[in-house]
Chains A and B, each alone.
Chain A
Amino acid sequence: MTAPAPAAEPAPSPPRSAIALRGVHKAFGAIRAVDGLDLEVPEGSCLGLLGPNGAGKSTTMRLLTAQAIADGGELEVLGYRLPEESKQARARCGVVPQQDNLDVELSARQNLAVFARLYRVPVRERRAAIDRALALANLSGRADTPADELSGGMRRRLLIARALVHRPQLVLMDEPTVGLDPQVRQELWSLIDGLRSDGVTVLMSTHYIEEAERLADTVAVMAAGKVVAHGPPGALVAEHAGREALEVYGRPDRLSEVEGLVSAAGFVTRRTGPALAILAAEGLPAGLAAELEPNGVRRVANLEDVFVALTGEEIA
């Protein structure tokens, strides 16, 4: 008698999408803010939505909470179709807005108490939920301080705590660290990183390259209302900027001359202050490299190179 063959390992099921946008359009008069947007965010991942001002990031965020209604296309958030089922979806999302909209006359605890009710946290769990959110945002010691007496960084942390008070599955963050000093930004990065570790799906719009590089599993670069590149930061850099960039220094007329030369050879360039950066410089022909290197510096290519190469815009 032959032993039965071991059962085949079931194929791992593909990750479910926390967010799925297909062919989404949104116009404001003649302006196409979102123009055929396709985007998938798997559950448990952090996606950085990177783009210059006016790329459509904030409109995309508002579409996801049904505070803007798409003119066309399909939107699903946590399995709910938008805008019809947006209320159910919003119950499971947390939103950190770009602009502070706290009730400034209320204390941190009172701000959270209001949203614990709005998010339907059961009465018996409310106090613990508020305490947990305060602790998460490192605000337990300032729980009874009115929001208008908190520093900018603390208010931003309170906004994040407000978005987390009901343990959402998905957190939407619109430029969460804009205008904050580097130390506060680091604190918020730790907080956001903690969410990722807890398996919360995060969609974060930003125009800070470093923020996207450090926090996002995948990055979607938006320009003119659509995604022009999508993938892990390292893969995007490899695909669009190569391994190295050569930054060539010189007079403006010399840089223009070099720009023409390398562009004709098929290389992508970008201006970086007083220098001209040549992307994928590891592929430069030996003769050209020998000519340029005495006035240049080689460095590792980065996401900023990708961003500029794809959007044609420098980082603000």
Chain B
Amino acid sequence: MAVDTASEPRSETGDGPSRRLRRLEPAAIGGVLYRELTVYTRYWFSTTFSSIVEPTIYLLAFGFGLGALLTEVEGFDYLDFIGTGIVATAVMFSSAFPSMFGTFVKRRFQRTYDAILAAPVDTEELVTAEALWLALRAGVYGTAPLLVAMVFGLEPALGMLLVPFIGALTGFGFASFGMFIAGVAKSIDNFNYVISAGLTPLFLVAGTFFPVDTLPAPIAAASVLNPLYHCVELVRGATFGIEATAAAGHVLALVAFGAIMWRLAIWRLRARLID
């Protein structure tokens, strides 16, 4: 049959105005965020419970256990020291873990991403929205240990208002990291390697429980490559004070971590989702 292919670009929706859809469309990102928010309303309690209780247990166990032996670390009360440090742990727990498992499940088992990518959403928008959502959550959940520490005597400070933003910035990087890993992993069991050999050491040598300069020199030097270390330093700095240049360095490190992981996540998930 003789057919003439329509060549005029048309509107992006049935009756809407004709307009070229760009990269990183707010509407696409907003749509994915709305989906996450809607799904979250169904399981917010269990997520909130685990995201808050787990780091709080660390805080209480180390704060009161080790705190009985150590009264001061680097001039801070140990409970204050650990209360500010555990924020980074809470941020990682509430971003990297749900990101790895959630992304894998949505990609492989629920095929949620196939459904979303059949709509006018591309992989870059999908990854960005998912990372933003988890960053937002990490920013909120990350403040829980700080609030608990305040109950046990941590003095409130105006700078603490920056903690959700520090948590969100760190959470964006770890959420992207989790998506990158979920894009690399062939099986959900592969996450055990990442958790044991990657995330656990990161959170143990971030300066959360003890200052990094008590570690052997090479490990202490390597801690500047640990994003959680920068998060811990920024949270302590926001709480107790920090030099502007040092703070800028930590922020820059977290921005670089987030940007690199974001691009890696897009690259790997695109390879997984687009044949």
Contacts and interface: CB of A to CB of B under 8 A. Distances in A.
A91 B13 contact: yes
Given A15-B3, A117-B31, A101 B9 contact: no
Interface stretch (A165-173, A182-190, A267-275): A165-173
A119 interface: yes
Contacts of B5: 16-17, 20, 76, 79
A97 B2 contact: no
Contact of A90 (B1, B32, B110, B118): B118
Contacts of A28: 275
Interface in B12-32: 12-16, 20-21, 27-28, 30-32
A68 B117 CA distance: 11
A97 B118 contact: yes
> How many A residues touch the partner, as a band?
35 or more
B271 to A, nearest CB: 11
A208 interface: no
A38 to B, nearest CB: 12
Nearest to A68: B275
Interface string A206-232: 000000000000000000000000000
B13 A120 contact: yes
> How many B residues touch the partner, as a band?
35 or more
Contacts of B35: 103, 114, 117-118
A79 B39 contact: no
A102 B30 CA distance: 19
Contacts of A78: 6, 10
Interface in B201-257: none
Contact of A101 (B8, B11, B110, B275): B110
A285 B9 CA distance: 57
Interface stretch (A2-10, A80-88, A254-262): A80-88
Interface stretch (A48-56, A59-67, A238-246, A296-304): A59-67
A279 to B, nearest CB: 25
Contact of A106 (B1, B39, B121): B39
A14 interface: yes
A78 to B, nearest CB: 7
Contact of B114 (A67, A104, A105): A67
A43 interface: yes
A119 B5 CA distance: 24
- What 7 pairs between A and B have smallest CB-CB spacing? A91-B12, A79-B6, A167-B14, A68-B275, A101-B111, A117-B31, A118-B31
Given A91-B21, A117-B30, 16 more contacts: A14-B2, A15-B1, A17-B3, A17-B5, A42-B1, A85-B9, A91-B13, A97-B111, A97-B114, A106-B42, A114-B34, A118-B28, A119-B119, A120-B13, A166-B14, A167-B15
10 contacts: A16-B6, A17-B4, A65-B117, A87-B120, A90-B118, A118-B119, A119-B120, A121-B13, A122-B16, A168-B14
